[in-house]
Amino acid sequence: PRAAWRHGLHGVCMTRMRRHMQHVVTAASSSLVGTDDASVPSTSAPVSAAYIHLPFCKRKCFYCDFPVEAVGKNTQRTYVQDRMRDYVQLLCSEIAATQVLGSGPLQTVFFGGGTPSLVPPDLLAVILEALDRRYGIAGDAEVSLEADPGTFDAARLRGYTALGVTRLSMGV
């Protein structure tokens, strides 16, 4: 948590963030294991799906209670890119620290948030590689990405599909 605080998300309370980070990698048939939090049950059911929270948005919507960081419209700014890289690095550490249960690769990977389509394909690749190293990802896995139509173009879409993204969940 100290490293997370140093690199932490601007304006997000770490106790609230910790609660959400415990569910960064969740199983469709079981909860995250490898945590010392007694409120998170563990089971021996195999992991078959992962939800990855990417907390970056252009702005914080009035109805949203998720932990997000409003980064504005220009996500190409160095500061924003550094924040995204730091978050992905911490996220990959969380993935590496989780206990592997059962056998077989992930059948589903879901990127939610926030607005995951703000995150460039090269950073999504780092996350997918971490998941693949830890759990494996099935060749026919569904990889779903929440997307705001105003946050990507054809080149970025090609980048996502090259990574294996098979489904976009469009909304605003």
pLDDT digits (tens, 9 = 90+) for 35-84: 455 555 555 556 589 999 999 999 888 888 888 888 887 777 888 899 99
Helix and strand element counts for the chain (H, E): 5, 6
Cα atoms in the Cβ-side hemisphere of radius 13 Å centred on 86: 16
Give CA–CA dist 100/76, Å, rounded: 35
pLDDT > 70? residue 14: no
pLDDT > 90? residue 5: no
Who has greater pLDDT, 90 or 44?
90
Give CA–CA dist 75/93, Å, rounded: 24
What's phi and psi for 56, nearest 5 deg? -100, 130
CB 75 within 8 A of CB 132: no
Who has greater pLDDT, 9 or 94?
94
Alpha helices in 43-139 (DSSP H): 78-97, 121-134
Taking the C-alpha atoms of 125, 128, 134 and 140 in order, what is their torsion angle to the nearest 10 degrees?
-130
Q: How confident is the model at residue 104 (pLDDT cuts 50, 70, 90)?
A: confident
Give CA–CA dist 33/36, Å, rounded: 9
Domain coordinates in residue numbering, the chain = 2-170
Q: Return the pLDDT at 155.
A: 94
Is the C-alpha dihedral spanning 3, 5, 6, 8 positive or negative?
positive
Q: Collect all residues with Cβ–Cβ distance below 8 Å to 140 and sequence separation of at least 6.
A: none
pLDDT > 60? residue 30: no
pLDDT > 60? residue 20: no
Percent over 90 (pLDDT), the chain: 49
pLDDT digits (tens, 9 = 90+) for 133-166: 999 999 999 999 999 998 889 999 999 999 999 9
Q: Return the pLDDT at 45.
A: 56
Element (DSSP H or E) covering residue 162: helix 154-163
pTM of the model: 0.72
β 56-57/137-147 pair status: unpaired
Q: How many CB atoms lie within 10 A of CB 67?
A: 20
